[in-house]
Amino acid sequence: MRQNKITSKYFFVTALNIIITLAEFLGGIFSGSLALLSDAVHNLSDVAAIVISFIAHLIGQKDRNKRKTFGYQRAETLAAFTNGVVLFVISFFLMIEAFERFSQPQEVKGKLMLIIAIIGLIANGISMLVMKSDSAHNLNVRSTFLHMMSDALSSVAVVIGAAMIYFWKSSLIDPLMTLLVSIFVMFEAYKITRKAANILMESNTNVDLDEIKKLVLTFPEVTNLHHLHVWRYSDDLIMMDAHINVTEKMSVVQLEQLYMKIGHELKEKLGINHVTLQAEYQRGIKESMIVLNKDD
C-alpha cells in the first residue's frame, strides 16, 4: 500500500515539475532573467532526478535472487548519489554564470519574471509537501524531497528578486539571487551525496564499536570479539559480522541460542538489525576488534 502511494506521488511530482520547467524557460527567455532560467535548469534536472529516483524505487522493490542475494535496495542509494552529484555540478555552473552577469548586467523584465516566479513557487511548494511525509524513511525519496525543497527555496529567492527588480529596477539582484540559491543547493547536494557515498562504501553508521564489544562481552560464554565489520547496506538495514571466542565447547543448539540473544541485544540497544557471528574457541583469541590486514 505504501509503495503504491509513493509511486503515485512520483508521477504527480514529475508532471508538475515538467509544467514548471516549461513555464520558467519561456518566462526566463522573454523576461531576460538569469534567475528564472537557472531555476528552469534546476527544475529540468529535478525532472531527470525524479525519473531516476522513480526507476530506482521500482528496482528496489524487486525480490532477492541468485545474482542479487541482498536484493536491489542499493539501486535507490545509487540514484540518490547520482542526483546529488548532478545537482552539485549544475549549481556550480550556475554560480559561474551569475559571476559573469555581475560584470555584464542585463536588463530584466521584472513584472513577467515576478508572475512566473510566483507560479513556480506555488508548484514547487506543492511538490515539496507531497514528498515530505516519506522522506524520513527512504534516502532516495529524501533526495527527491531535497530537490523539491531546493526548488521551493530557489523560487522564494526568485520571487524576492523579481519584486526588487520590478520596484527598484536593479540589474544586479538577478545574479545575486542565482548565486545565493546555488550555494544553498550545493550544500544540500553535498550532504545527500556524502551519505549515499558512505552507504556505498559500506562505512560504519556511527555505531560505537566499543559499545558493541562491551555488550557482546557481557555474555559469560564470550571471551573475545574480533574481525568486526559494521556497515549500512541500505537506508533500512544496518549489518554486522564478527568472530567471537567462546569459553567452552558448545553444541549447535547452544550456539544458536547464544547468537539469538546477542542479535536481540544488538538490535534493541544499537539498532543493528542483521547480525552474523562465527564462534571460535582459541583461534583469533588474541586478535583485535578491527583486523588491519586485507585477508580477513
The predicted-structure confidence for 58-113, as pLDDT tens digits, reads as follows 776 677 677 776 667 677 777 778 878 887 887 888 788 788 878 777 677 778 87
- Residue 137 pLDDT class (50, 70, 90 cuts): low
Kindly provide the residue ranges of all beta strands, DSSP E only, lying in the chain, ordered along the sequence.
Answer: 222-232, 238-246, 274-280
- Residue 3 pLDDT class (50, 70, 90 cuts): low
Query: How far, in whole angstroms, is CA 278 from its chain's centroid?
Result: 33
Average pLDDT, stretch 273-278? 91
Which of 72, 75, 15 lies closest to 46, judged by CA?
A: 15
Report the share of the chain in percent with pLDDT over 90: 15
Average pLDDT of every residue of the chain = 79
Would you state the pLDDT for residue 293? 54
Would you state the pLDDT for residue 57? 64
Would you state the pLDDT for residue 261? 94
Most confident of 16-20, 119-123, 271-275: 271-275
Would you state the pLDDT for residue 6? 64
pLDDT at 292 over 70: no
- Exposed/middle/buried for 204, CB within 10 Å: 0-12, 13-18, 19+? middle
Report the share of the chain in percent with pLDDT over 70: 83
Would you state the pLDDT for residue 169? 75
Q: Mark residue 200 as left, alpha or beta (left: phi above 0; alpha: psi -120 to 50; beta: remaining).
A: alpha
Would you state the pLDDT for residue 204? 73
- Per residue in 14-39, pLDDT (tens digit) is 788 888 888 888 888 887 777 777 77
Higher pLDDT, 6 or 259: 259
Would you state the pLDDT for residue 211? 92
| Cell numbers placing 151 | 526548488
Average pLDDT, stretch 155-165? 80
Which of 228, 234, 196, 199 lies closest to 68, judged by CA?
A: 234
